[in-house]
Amino acid sequence: MTADQARVLIAERFSGAQVDGAAPVVVSVARDAWLDLARFAKETLGCRFFSFLSAVDWKDEGLEVVCKVDNLDAGLSLLLKTRLGPGVSACPSLVPVYAGANWMERECYDMFGIAFEGHPDLRRILLGDDWVGHPLLKSYAVDTPYPPYR
Amino acid sequence: MTAWLLPFLVPFIVMNAILGIVTYVTLLERKFAARMQSRIGPYRVGPHGLLQPIADAIKLMMKEDVVPTAADRPIYNLAPIVFVLPCMFIFATIPFAPGLGVADLNIGILFFLAVSAMEIVGLFMAGWGSNNKYAMLSAMRAVNQVISYDLPFIFSALTPVLLAGSLKLSDIAAAQAGLWFIFYPVIGQLAFIAFIVSTVASENRAPFDILEAESELVAGFRVEYSGMKFALIQLGEYAHVIGASFLGALLFLGAWAGPGPEWLGPVWFLITAMLIFLLVTWVRWSFVRIRVDQILALSWKALLPSTLLLLIATAIVVVWRGVPGV
Amino acid sequence: MTIAAPRHVELDYTGSERLTMNMGPQHPSAHGVFRAILQLEGETVVGVDAVIGYLHRCHEKLAETLTYAQYPSIASKTDYVAAMTSEFAYVRAAEMIGKIEVPKRAQYLRVIAAELQRVASHLLWLGTWCLDMGGALGGGATIFLYCIREREMILDLFESLVGARLLYGFYQVGGVRYDLPAGWVDTCRQTVDVIDTRIDEYQRMLEDNPFFQVRTQGVGVISRELAQEVGIAGPLLRGSGVAFDIRRGEPYSSYEDFEFRVPVETSGDCFGRYKVRMAEFRESLTIVRQALDRLPDGPISSRPGLKSVAQTRIPKGEAYARVEGARGEVGCYLIADGSAKPYRMKWRGASFSNLAILPHIIPGHKVADVVAIMGSVDPVFGEVDR
């Protein structure tokens, strides 16, 4: 499975997907196709290795969830992206496909407040349960006071 | 000297000598371990750290005695004493030279083994009374382990008894005047190995120190103890190890039999006992700890059957040769 | 390639009372601040919940406020045991976006530092892991002190190179910050030789020891599938039979110049991970030797003489750079917006992903195995919590 083949296969299967790049192949899909894309990447493209999942806050354009998976045998890397859209903070969970998404999505929820639908155990992981806000959002100032550390 | 004083005086001297030995054995072990680990060990208190044990003892006495709120106080407070008493009693029957001992019972070894197994009561009280999960897990392990290892311990200690034909410790020592039991062909060596393994295990020394297991159970049954109570537990443990080392020297290494005049006997005894102690220490500082189920499997599946077989074999040899002794 | 099947455990509730036991955050076997809430049935662990975050400093937010010249020295505070490799990932991401050339000598110096760091980190792992299994007052402490002795030699090398012993700031965008001091190459060669012989000693001391074998073999088996799905990397992944090493699969910083083996074990247990790391020691030492032999002359940075921290500007773009750290894939996903500071930085800590395997493999093992497994995962909590 080379990057070219993967690009062709993804374009065939996901009509709305934007595909570019070679290493890694960057694939952007709509939120509805997110779980399908992950499943397709794992089962058809052989990307079994789950590298990381995170998000980017594009301010007015909303949040974007980013996930990287690899096919270690073929040397194929995929960077999967989906835009949630302005004001939306819900996204399908990848835990049914990749077990490693569990902690990563919890971290993402912790930092961005994205509610992953279908996650078995969505709670804060790095910050305390009583933390207010989601620090990696651009709207969260670095010097936001937090009790008792005011 | 009046005759009524003697029964008090001798135990007093022995007790204090044992306390002194135990105190300084900690220094010996620390120095020995340090050399194994390419360190220097205690060096600052006194020349070559010779006063370190004294400093430790004083420090432990000065420490605050913290009692957890949730502890079962009577049991918690009693446990160190219950633990330390049998560890001291075991020295009662050990003859340090012909005629020099507290009480040379004619069932001396039986007394030793019985009393040494009693320490488990103190251990369990400490673990239970602390009302701490780590301590309780450790107490459960203690019961498991001590019971499983006392049997091979007893069986391996009984092999010299059969060879000597007496339960009296001074008789066993005297029987080795010609040949130490460790040099008795095949049987002696096997029994010695079994004795060392089960000693290490029933004294809860590494690699069988699952009671203490500080990487899992923090400090095991003594996690909630501090100050003098902790010192007592520590004292008891070391006393038990030293007691077992003396027993090993007595059963296998000829006790006070050695070259030189007769008054050197106790010195030889001390040296051979320390050799056994250092052997145990050597094992301690070079092995990783094994798991509780593996420890139990080792005892019930390997050590117990083999020591039992060894005992039977010894009995057959003794009967075949017709006379007990070497 | 055969893989041991994942340990299947019947976890029937037999009516006995379960004990909830906390391991950590302060616990002798935690390699940092980590809390595992164990559900015990007797001595057997039936459930585990991992609580992390005690060391969280929000590195990702911090990176958005620091310039490309400032952050590398902060990056070393993520994985403080292998600080060199954490810096490496960040500067490499910035160089990928900016298409910044790195001089050959700088590339070699980076390799030397990274490989020495791997050896130092593995030494600490071996010591602490044995300490976990052998106890602070037992055989483990002996190995621990031996390993610390060797690690000290590498830290001395770093000290004479950088001036710091733990957190370096050696890497910078475009190259490295310091050139080798006089005589460093010879000292380095001697150290490498000494460590090479000592590794043999440890291997003999441990592998010939039946107690060590029973504690590690068949304990904490990770299947090939689970390993990939959870995304564990580095020695853990190779210990589970996946022959993937970023240095080989996606060579960076002239790793293609060096000859080395990628050790793989198929057993997937603690012993397999141990074997992989022991082999990696030797491979790293070989790489260091080769790099010292062929060290080219030339500049050590393509962007020398920084005058202000905001001088390094990276054009708009994004990149994911990963390096093979001591604990696996250390990745940095960087989005630049053309200013002197990144727009977003995602840190993929190898330990974070590796630690996520624990809830999958611990249930069914004994309490004592928990520490053995945790030690074999080799987490560094600065990197887990970031």
8 A C-beta contact, residue C33 and residue C381: yes
| Interatomic CA distance for residues C336 and C71, integer angstroms | 14
Contact assessment for residue A91 and residue A31, using Cβ atoms and an 8 Å cutoff = yes
Taking only the tens place, the pLDDT of each residue in B75-131 is: 898 999 998 888 888 888 888 777 777 777 788 888 888 888 888 888 888 888 888
Contact (Cβ atoms closer than 8 angstroms) between residue A116 and residue A93: yes
Going along chain C from its start, the domains and CATH numbers come out as 59-385 (1.10.645.10)
Query: Is the backbone of residue C298 left (phi > 0), alpha (psi -120 to 50) or beta?
Result: left
Name chain A contacts of C382, Cβ cutoff 8 Å: none
CA distance C244 to C188: 28
- C145 vs B209: CB contact, 8 Å cut-off? no
Read off the tokens for C358.
Answer: 């624990």
Interface check A98 vs C, CB under 8 A: yes
Kindly list the residues from chain A whose CB atom is less than 8 angstroms away from the CB atom of residue C250: 23, 75
CB contact A31 to C (< 8 Å): no
Q: Do A100 and C344 touch (CB under 8 A)?
A: no
Which residues sit opposite B75 in a β-bridge?
none
pLDDT at residue C8 is higher than 60: no
Helix (H) or strand (E) holding B85, with range, is: helix B73-89
Beta partners for A56?
A: A64
Q: Provide the terminal-to-terminal Cα distance of chain A, rounded to the nearest Å.
A: 54
- Give the phi and the psi of residue A63 in degrees, each rounded to 5: -90, 150
DSSP characters over C33-66: S-EEEEEEETTEEEEEEEE--TT---HHHHHHHS
User: Is A100's CB within 8 Å of C230's CB?
Assistant: yes
Tokens of A19: 């595909």
- Tokens representing residue C42 in the block: 């007797």
Least CB–CB distance from A126: residue in C53, C225, C360? C53
B85 to chain C, any CB pair closer than 8 A? The answer is no
Please, which pLDDT band fits residue C119 given cuts at 50, 70 and 90? very high
Contact C172, C103 (CB under 8 A): no
Structure token pair of residue B225: 């103890």
What is the model's pLDDT at position C136?
62
Q: Does C353 touch chain A (CB under 8 A)?
A: yes
Of chain C residues 10-49, which have a CB less than 8 A from chain B?
A: 19, 21, 23, 27-29, 40, 43
B133-164 and B187-202 are packed helices; what angle lies between their axes, rounded to 10 degrees?
Answer: 160
Return the percent helix, strand and coil in chain C, to nearest 5: 45, 15, 40
Residue A126 carries which side chain, given as an amino acid letter? L
* Cβ-defined contact of C385 to A68 (cutoff 8 Å): no
Q: Can you tell me which residue has the tokens 């001074």?
A: B170
For residue C25, whether the previous peptide bond is cis, meaning omega lies within 30 degrees of 0, is yes
| CA–CA dist C62, C312 (Å, integer) | 17
Helix, strand, coil fractions of chain B, as percent rounded to 5: 70, 0, 30
Which of B216-225, B298-307, C84-93, C146-155 is the least confident region? B216-225
Quick check: A9 and A74 in contact, CB under 8 A?
Answer: no
- How does C226-243 read in b/e, with b if 16+ C-beta sit within 10 Å? bbbbbbbbbbbbbbbbbe
* Residue ranges in B90-183 assigned as alpha helix (H): 108-117, 119-129, 133-164, 169-175
Work out the burial of residue B323: count CB atoms within 10 Å of its CB; fewer than 13 is exposed, 13-18 middle, 19 or more buried.
exposed
Query: Which candidate, C44, C50, C48, C49, places its Cα nearest to that of C10?
Result: C44
Q: How far apart are CA C313 and CA C303, in angstroms?
A: 11
The rounded distance, in Å, linking the Cα atoms of B34 and B11 is 34
pTM for the model: 0.84
Tell me how far apart the alpha carbons of residues B243 and B249 are, in angstroms, rounded to a whole number. 10
- Give the pLDDT mean for C166-194: 88
- Residue closest to B114 by CA, chosen among B145, B77, B154, B146: B154
Mean pLDDT of chain C: 84
Q: Answer whether C226 sits within 8 Å of A99, measured CB to CB.
A: yes
The per-residue pLDDT for C11 is: 47
Gap between the Cα atoms of A70 and A76, Å rounded: 6
Residue of C nearest to A57 (CA): C344
pLDDT tier, B323 (very low <50, low <70, confident <90, very high otherwise): low
Could you read off the pLDDT of C242-261 as tens digits, one per residue?
Answer: 888 888 888 888 888 888 88
Concatenated DSSP letters of C253-306: TTGGGS-------SS-SHHHHHHHHHHHHHHHHHHHHHHHHT---S-SBSS---
Which residues, 6 or more positions from C262, have their beta carbon under 8 angstroms from its beta carbon?
C238, C243, C244, C245, C247, C248, C283
Higher-pLDDT residue of C16, B110? B110
Q: From CA B160, how far away is CA C375, in angstroms rounded?
A: 44
Would the pLDDT of A150 be above 60? Answer: no
CB atoms within 10 A of CB C28: 18
In angstroms, rounded to a whole number, what is the distance separating the alpha carbons of residues C347 and C339?
20
HEC-encoded secondary structure of chain A: CCHHHHHHHHHHHCCCCEEECCCCEEEEECHHHHHHHHHHHHHCCCCCEEEEEEEEECHHHCEEEEEEEEECCCCEEEEEEEEEECCCCEEECCCCCCCCHHHHHHHHHHHHCCEEECCCCCCCCCCCCCCCCCCCCCCCCCCCCECCEC
Contact A79/C at CB under 8 A:
yes
pLDDT digits (tens, 9 = 90+) for A76-115: 888 888 888 888 888 888 888 888 888 888 888 988 888 8
Instruction: Quote the minimal CA–CA distance from C37 to chain A in Å.
Output: 14
Pairwise CA distance, residues B207 & B142, whole Å: 14
- Burial state string for B109-130 with b = 16 or more CB within 10 A and e = fewer than 16: bbbbbebbbbbbebbbbbbbbb
> Which amino acid is present at B86?
P
Q: State yes or no: pLDDT of C2 exceeds 50.
A: no
pLDDT tens-digit series, residues B92-101: 888 877 777 7
Nearest to B215 among C135, C211, C214 (CB): C135
Percent of chain A surpassing pLDDT 90: 0
Output the average pLDDT for chain B: 83
Q: Average pLDDT of C66-76?
A: 86
ipTM (interface pTM): 0.84
